[in-house]
Structure 1
Amino acid sequence: MKVSRRRLLTAVGLAALAGCTSRANPGTGGESATTPASSAEATTITGETVPTAEETLPLPMNAADLEAHAVSGGPSKDGIPSIDNPSFVAAGDVDFLNPTDPVFGVALNGDIKAYPQKILVHHEIVNDRLGDRPVAVTYCPLTGTVQGFERGETTFGVSGRLINNNLIMYDRATEAWWPQMLATAIPGPWNSAPGTTSLREFGLVWTPWERWRSLHPDTQVLSTATGFAKNYGRDPYGSYAPPRGYYANDATLFEPLAEDDRFSRKRVFMGARTADGAVAFDKSTLLAEQTMTGELGTTPVVAVADQRLDTGYIYLNPEERTVTSDGRTVSVGESTYAPDDLPLTSVHTFDAMWVAWYGYYPETNVYA
């Protein structure tokens, strides 16, 4: 029997997925290299229809096997509607956010924007622009991951399928499947031609609204005037502030690809992955210690906290330079820098629940 997100949420004692299981009223640089997928088991993306990275991120198994692990989340294709014509309001005009509500912030290409979690939980994808760059801002509530991608002249939609509890996006130009965390094309029922590639990524910061607004008072904020009839005051999965429901218990709605019981399933890690491997730092430990060191594959890395935004970043540090931090400024040698602007090579970093990170990257180096 197929099990929907609605039925599973009810089974674990959470609210039904009112806005997330039915079709809404219509409204308005990954870094890395070779994937193990064979050319006959992935999806062709041609030209610049979808902007792709120079190198392809690794997959945890071949692409055809990943497709076989896809399950229905309940909604049909586009049953969770992307926001394709977003509107924004100034920070001073926001009356629907509490200080501790999570937002996903980005300052890129001349734009400063915040995307509230309480809106994206109902839509999962916002097709937007940052300056002259078309982008997709994506959020998966079941894995706690928010990621940004360049989208070229196409838009992304929600396929209605999940792998490893994680959103599978599709692009409307080729209809290829893109598991969000992997950022790499796999076959799907609408497009299964040969070839494989990864999307161009950019980072967003998961941070409380009060912290983003304090650091970026000129930010624009995604408006609740989306053109859809949604109750943006209610998260169908629970609440992050304070933690309740799905976000506060250890239950997942679907089986992960792999399990590791060293940490609770929904403990938040800050992860990074390249062709050389994957690394994850416990977020709460990083925020407490300010800096942590580890290895991505065999390359030394340093993670630094950013107390301004309650987040962190991972940098390659092959020369193992001494890095110290007070949480707001970081010293490298005799010079000081903002935590997000060190003179080291940054690696795309994002928050993820442990169960999701380990499911996709079971060979990860982990530091807690």
Structure 2
Amino acid sequence: MKWNSAKIFWIGIVLLVIPGLAHAYLLMPFPGSQDLNAITVCYYLEKVVMPLRLIGLLFIVWYLFKYYAKNAFRQKIVKASVFVLCVGSFYITDYMYKAETMFKETEKPGFANGLSNRVPLNYLVIGVVNNGVAKAYPLIYLGYHHKVQDEVGNKPVLVTYCTICRTGRVYSPMVDGVRQNFRLVGARHYNAIIEDESTKTWWYQATGNAAVGKLKGKQLTELPYEQLTLSSWLQKHPETLILQPDKLYTTDYADLKNYDRVQAIDKDSTLKNKDSLIRKSWVIGVIINGQAKAYNWRHMHIKRVLNDEVNHIPLLIGIEKDSLSYHAWNTLVKGKALHFKLDTNGMLTDDETASVWDWDGLCIAGPQKGERLTKVQAYQEYWHSWKHFHPKTTFWKGENVTEQTAFLDMLL
């Protein structure tokens, strides 16, 4: 048998397998894959994987018809075994490590009111309000599905959550006036990538930014939401509808048990100083007029209430008694910045008038009664993700110390 004939077979095998494996590696959080700046490579690689496979298959079929019979028995066994392994690789790349099959979206989201709800009250939820209608999406379900495409108050919403960067976002699925259906593509830089149906553009979940494709550079419209316990959400919105678990994915939901309770740093027995800043440290992030700032969750958990200023805007960051529900408000009221503390009953009180405020930012007693603080969109996120997508962020590590990320990089 001539060497050129064997070359035909092996070229076919390479075209059949390597592009698919490379694509799967780059789009899933394998060691080293997420640190590469390869989203454009991934995007175009996905488009050529199938054509390259077909070309590879033609090479192999050509070889089988023309040369395979001339092989010695041992050579036949080797090539047949290699081909079987190729078939196995399809299972790996097109099913086992394909995001949209690993994390399926519930097709018919089911909701219940507070009376018929089956979701535990201490579960964290993403809460959305529109046109007087409130809905709550439990993180333990949303974390598996990654996204729920729904409507709130007759307004289409795309509710998303990425567990590998630990952050939720709610977007309008309307792109250039057209409601889009989105599919989960995979992950880049440890953040979920979604693709719209019409233009096949890829969007980062954590920012809503179009990273590659026809609409590159555009931004999904972000919609306001809150992350808090279902119990806290029900106190604010007793008539809310609550996403119920899909029975098809009971086992998948169980894999996220305690996801919203225990930090990675607490599970690391090798780390003696639990105040160390690590990649998966939780932070609360805000963006005020283009300026990003992050707050160390562990220190905020102890302090609970922090008066701050970001880009000349007075800000209040607060964590409720349940240690899970967090908020951010602009504290400017009637042209004057208020400063807050907790009273003996755990209620928010301002220093200026001693008025009492609830955890929805409403003043319920005192001279300011009836006034309401303006909510500021805040996010809970892993430090490595927040820092990557907001490289110029400042950081509050505790005790009123703000550090620039250049210094923090030396600590990590």
Deviation at 1:8, TM superposition (A): 6.9
Return closer, same or farther for 1:172/1:248 CA change in 2, 3 Å cut-off.
farther
**Whole-Å separation in 2 of the counterparts to 1:314 and 1:194:** 33
Q: Quick one: which amino acid aligns to residue 391 of structure 2? A: P
Whole-angstrom CA distance in 1 between matches of 2:289 and 2:358: 27
Distance of 1:158 and 1:104 partners within structure 2: 20
> In the alignment, is residue 329 of structure 1 matched against residue 348 of structure 2?
yes
1: CA distance, partners of 2:336 / 2:138: 37
* TM-score of the aligned structures, taking structure 2 as reference length: 0.60
Per the alignment, in what secondary structure is the counterpart of residue 211 of structure 2? coil
Label 1:195 to 1:243 Cα distance change in 2 as closer, same or farther (>3 A): closer
Matching residue's letter, 1:311:
Y
* Structure 1 position 175, deviation (Å): 2.2
- Tell me what 1:305 maps to: 318
| Equivalent position of 1:67 in the other structure | 39
The corresponding residue for 1:98 is 120
Q: Which residue of 2 aligns with 1:222?
A: 243
1:120 alignment counterpart? 142
Residue aligning to 1:35? none
Q: 1:247 to 1:172 in 2, by over 3 A?
A: farther
The question of whether the paired residues in 2 share the 8 Å contact of 1:106 and 1:203 is answered with yes
Q: Work out the CA distance in 1 between the residues paired with 2:197 and 2:253.
A: 29
For 1:111, the aligned partner's letter is V
Which aligned pairs between 1:1-368 and structure 2 lie closer than 5 A?
A: 67-68=39-40, 74-77=97-100, 80-95=103-118, 97-152=119-174, 153-187=178-212, 192-193=213-214, 196-225=217-246, 229-231=248-250, 234-237=253-256, 239-240=258-259, 243=262, 249=267, 263-273=277-287, 276-296=290-310, 298-307=311-320, 310-315=325-330, 321-326=337-342, 328-331=347-350, 333-334=352-353, 337-341=357-361, 346-368=375-397
When residues 304 and 242 of structure 1 are mapped into structure 2, their CA distance, relative to the original with a 3 A threshold, is closer
Q: Is the 8 A contact 2:129 2:135 kept in 1?
A: yes
TM-superposed CA distance for 1:140, in Å, is 0.6
Q: 1:146 deviation in Å?
A: 1.1
State the Cα deviation string for residues 170-215 of structure 1 (Å, max 9, x = none). 222322211011111121xxxx236522222123322233333344
User: Are the aligned partners of 1:113 and 1:220 in contact in 2 as well (CA < 8 Å)?
Assistant: yes
Instruction: Flag structure 2 segments of 5+ consecutive residues without an equivalent.
Output: 1-20, 32-36, 44-92, 269-274, 363-371, 398-412
- Mapped to 2, the partners of 1:199 and 1:344 lie a distance apart of 26
Q: How far apart in 2 are the matches of 1:248 and 1:140?
A: 21
Number of paired residues?
A: 296
Q: In structure 1, what is the Cα distance between the partners aligned to 2:385 and 2:357? A: 32
**Identity of counterpart residues, as a percentage?**
20
Give the drift of 1:233: 6.9
3-state SS of 1:243 partner: coil
CA-atom RMSD in angstroms: 3.9
| CA distance, structure 2, for counterparts of residue 164 and residue 220 of structure 1 | 34
Shift of the alpha carbon at 1:324?
A: 0.7
Q: Please identify the structure whose Cα radius of gyration is greater.
A: 2
Alpha-carbon spacing, 1:268–1:195, altered in 2? closer, same or farther (3 Å): closer
In the alignment, structure 1 segments of 5+ residues that lack a partner are 12-64, 251-260
Residues 139-188 of structure 1: per-residue CA shift (max 9 Å, x gap)? 1111111111112352443433212211112222322211011111121x
Cα–Cα, structure 1 residues 357 and 302, in superposed 2: closer, same or farther, change >3 Å? same
Q: TM-score if structure 1 supplies the norm length?
A: 0.66
For residues 194 and 242 of structure 1, what CA distance do their matches in structure 2 show?
38
SS in 1 for 2:115: helix
Higher helix share: 2
User: Is residue 238–residue 247 contact of structure 1 (8 Å, CA) maintained in 2?
Assistant: no
Q: Larger relative contact order (C-alpha < 8 A, sep ≥ 6)?
A: 1
Give SS of 2:210's match. Answer: coil
In 2 relative to 1, CA 128–232 (structure 1 residues): closer, same or farther, beyond 3 Å? Answer: farther
Three-state SS of the structure 2 residue aligned to 1:230 is helix
Question: 1:354 is aligned with what amino acid?
Answer: W
Q: 1:151 to 1:242 in 2, by over 3 A?
A: closer
Amino acid in structure 2 at the alignment position of 1:236: D
